[in-house]
Structure 1
Amino acid sequence: MLVDFALIISILMALYLFSYAYIEGIRISESDQKVDGGITFIFSIMMAFVFSGFTYLFI
């Protein structure tokens, strides 16, 4: 039961983080000024891949 719960949480977190990184990438690409995408974009895409790995682990 705990493995099923961990699978659901990891899928939801991976989907959320990939969508957040996608929206952040669009926001960065439409900016005319100098942008700093290090904290939000890079961290969210890295954590999305981590949670994707967790999803594969819990299947």
Structure 2
Amino acid sequence: MMAETFALYLSLVMAIFLIAFAYFEAIKISNADGKIYGGTFIFSVTSGFIFFGFTHIFM
């Protein structure tokens, strides 16, 4: 029971952090001139949605 609660809160915090990080990365990319690297943005969004899925599983 305690491990499930910890996993729920950990996955929720990670999901919120990763989506917020992707948001700020998108702002940084949109202000950039020339060639950009979007790997960090893509990885953050994908990981954020995976952790949102984990949060849904632990509920």
Question: d(CA) in 2 for partners of 1:36 and 1:10?
Answer: 27
Shift of 1:23: 0.2
Q: Give the secondary structure class of the aligned counterpart of 1:32.
A: coil
Gaps of 5+ in 2: none
Deviation sequence 1:3-56 (CA, Å, 0-9, x none)? 000000000000000000000000000111210112x11011000000000000
In the TM superposition, structure 1's runs of 4+ consecutive aligned residues that sit over 2 Å from their partners are none
Structure 1: runs of 5 or more not aligned: none
**TM-score of the pair, normalised by structure 2:** 0.95
TM-score (norm 1): 0.95
* RMSD over equivalenced CA pairs, Å: 0.5
Q: How does 1:34-45 map to 2 (within 5 A)?
A: 34-38=35-39, 40-45=40-45
